[in-house]
Amino acid sequence: MKNYDGENLGEFRQNLATYGAVKFFSDGGLETLHIDVNAENYKSIVELMKKELIANAKAYDAAELRSGSTPNEMNIKSIFNDINMDANAMEIEFESSFENLLWFVNAHLANTNQGNFDGVDVDIIFNKDTIVNESQVIQDIKNSVGIISDETLVANHPWVEDTKKEIEFLKSEQ
């Protein structure tokens, strides 16, 4: 806006809204700003932000694995190993936080005469899954018969949840 015939910008906006016109002196004028938008820049920025978000959130982009060549077992294990390492670091932080929380729980229970639980051990267990080729594990167990104890073989079988019960079942079947 150049050589506007008015006192302030509020008056300018009101005239523009009311009359759809603006009054200028003879040598005045109005020019619009034009910004060229390059869509490729936005695509690059969005892609960069997506990668940074995934990295900072310690997440995993499954599309990355699918878009590459055919994923093999080693690629998948490598990815899960990275995720597992991040999970281990997170587990340490959670354990520390739970210990702090437990102090408050124990203090509350003691203050409300519900018992004193200071010194009572609490186990915080984080279960994590890993990718296992069960057929290969079972084949390896079969190949290890006579080399290591039956109890170790049963304990490492992917379908066995309670080793002692499974050994009792085997003895009763025999």
The predicted structure's pLDDT at residue 82: 80
- Better-scored residue on pLDDT, 92 or 28: 92
Q: Say if residue 65's pLDDT is above 70.
A: no
Label residue 110 by pLDDT band (50, 70, 90): very high
Q: Which two tokens stand for residue 73?
A: 């077992």
Question: Within 13 Å of residue 150, how many CA atoms lie on the same side as its CB?
Answer: 6
Task: Kindly state the average pLDDT of the residues 49-60.
Answer: 84
Task: Kindly state the average pLDDT of the residues 24-34.
Answer: 74
The predicted structure's pLDDT at residue 7: 64
CA dist 35 to 32, 38, 45, Å?
Answer: 10, 10, 18
- Better-scored residue on pLDDT, 95 or 4: 95
Q: Is the pTM of this model over 0.85?
A: no
Alpha helix locations (H) across 68-133?
Answer: 73-111
Task: Kindly state the average pLDDT of the residues 2-10.
Answer: 68
